[in-house]
């Protein structure tokens, strides 16, 4: 997605540190799935530095943090079984998962995804407001009232497939 971040010159260009934060903000808001490690690799900063910049930009109300969740297909509709599945994951693998999500009239097991950031609209404006579907594997985002976004994946049809594709690092 082609986005432009706008800001006041006397704020951003005052120091190199401010400019680095600004650049990190541009990269964070550019894609829904821009993880900290990817941006760290691009900018040659540490992941800790990127997360600090993201937190600073969030406090300054430049970016809005979105906590992404993906739901798992192939897990039973029963809520109790999903809770057992969650407890198994925590006990055996140490993976923390969100509560069961009620979506399309049934219960789903869900996993945490990397957080993404959006530009706050009252302070800054997007360059192109038209949303183009560039990603391969999501169907539709479902936004909640609090900063959560739910992503339904087309190809990740089961938990084993998810693990083989993405691994434990992304959780």
Partner 1 sequence: MLNENDPRCIQMNSRRMKYMLKSGVDLKAMRLYVIAKHHFSYKSGIFSLDELVDLLHAYGYRSLHNKTGNKRAAMKNRLQTMLIDSGLFRKAPDGRFIHSWQVSNE
For partner 1, which residue of 46, 77, 78, 125 counts as binding (CB under 8 A)?
125
Range in contact with partner 1 (rule: CB under 8 A) among 17-25, 81-89, 138-146, 155-163:
17-25
Per CB under 8 A, which of residues 21..40 are in contact with partner 1? Answer: 22-23, 26-27, 29-30
HSE of 155 in the Cβ direction (CA atoms, 13 Å)? Answer: 8
DSSP of 9-46: HHHHTT-HHHHHHHHHHHHHHH-TT--HHHHHHHHT--
Rank residues 31 and 67 by Cβ distance to partner 1 and give the closer one.
31
What CA–CA distance (Å, rounded) separates 170 from 163? 10
For partner 1, which residue of 19, 102, 137, 144 counts as binding (CB under 8 A)?
19
Rank residues 23 and 89 by Cβ distance to partner 1 and give the closer one.
23
Element (H, E) at 140: strand 138-143
What CA–CA distance (Å, rounded) separates 151 from 112? 10
Query: Which of these, 38, 44, 37, 63, lies nearest to 119 by C-alpha position?
Result: 63
For partner 1, which residue of 40, 81, 120, 124 counts as binding (CB under 8 A)?
124
For partner 1, which residue of 98, 105, 123, 152 counts as binding (CB under 8 A)?
123
Name the site residues for partner 1 (rule: CB under 8 A): 1-10, 12-16, 19-20, 22-23, 26-27, 29-30, 42-43, 122-125, 127
């Amino acid at each position: 997605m082609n986005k432009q971040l706008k800001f006041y010159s006397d704020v951003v260009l005052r120091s190199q540190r401010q400019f680095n934060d600004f650049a990190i903000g541009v990269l964070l808001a550019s894609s829904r799935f821009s993880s900290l490690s990817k941006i760290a690799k691009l900018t040659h900063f540490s992941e800790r530095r990127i997360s600090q910049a993201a937190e600073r930009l969030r406090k300054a109300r430049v970016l809005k943090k979105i906590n992404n969740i993906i739901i798992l297909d192939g897990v039973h509709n029963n809520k109790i079984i999903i809770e057992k599945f969650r407890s198994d994951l925590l006990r055996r693998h140490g993976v923390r998962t969100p509560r069961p999500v009620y979506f399309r009239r049934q219960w789903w097991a869900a996993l945490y995804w990397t957080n993404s950031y959006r530009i706050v609209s009252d302070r800054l404006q997007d360059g192109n407001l038209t949303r183009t579907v560039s990603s391969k594997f999501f169907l539709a985002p479902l936004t909640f009232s609090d900063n959560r976004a739910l992503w339904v994946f087309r190809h990740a049809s089961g938990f084993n497939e998810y693990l083989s594709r993405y691994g434990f690092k992304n959780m």
